[in-house]
Amino acid sequence: MGIGLDIKEVLQDVGVQYNVLGKTSGEYLIYESNAQVTKPFIREFFLEVWLSYDTTVNAGDVLQFVETSELYMTMHHSPDIVENEIVKYDSVLYKCNVSGELLRPSGESSWGTDYNKSTNWITVSSPCYGLQVENLYGGGLEEKEEIGELDVEKHTGYFPTSYGFQVNDRYQTRSGEYYRVENVIKYRFPAVDIVVLGEDTR
């Protein structure tokens, strides 16, 4: 583990300290922002990072930078192997720009004082951190955007698979907006789902 330990020491000396939400604290990384001039959105939300050989991070984990409190999802996570030993991990992070809770219809309804029937909701997961964009097509994060020709009124979100998004769920953001889950695209990333969000008037 000589090379791995050397890299870990460098990360601790000059890197950024972060915590893995719900798991561990006090790890370090070195990051490089993407310099694609033609995709300013990628420059804003996309980071390539080095993590130590013994990191606890897995794809789908949410990291919080200690100094800035910024949150990032781990989208891609692969070992760098030298002489049959892992010396570091090369990973890709997407910046989280939304937080909220995932709600699911309980199967029961209630009547308000105005005699209107409303859906009762149960909380599936909270907090739910992710990256949400107004329209994937033409401004997204993928080089090939064949799934991206969505209606301009739709939003596209990237959320850890562990949250359990399902069609017809409601995503309620901390800012008070409501979105109906219209589609969940799995397997594009190892542990992150692409979620199509639309207006929710239920």
**In this predicted model, what pLDDT tens digit does every residue of 37-69 receive, in sequence order?**
567 777 788 999 999 999 999 999 999 999 999
CA distances from 106 to 121, 179, 184, 201 (A): 5, 17, 20, 16
User: What pLDDT score was predicted for residue 44?
Assistant: 82
User: How sure is the predictor about 35, in pLDDT bands with cuts at 50, 70 and 90?
Assistant: low
Indicate the pTM of the whole model: 0.84
Domain 98-199 has CATH 2.40.10.270: yes
The answer to whether the peptide bond before residue 127 is cis (omega within 30 degrees of 0) is yes
Q: Which CATH architecture has domain 2-95?
A: Beta Barrel (2.40)
User: How sure is the predictor about 113, in pLDDT bands with cuts at 50, 70 and 90?
Assistant: low
pLDDT over 90 for what percent of the chain? Answer: 71
Rounded Cα distance, 86 and 2, in Å: 10
Tens of pLDDT, residues 1-29: 689 999 999 999 999 999 999 999 999 99
Q: CATH 2.40.10.270: which residues of the chain?
A: 98-199
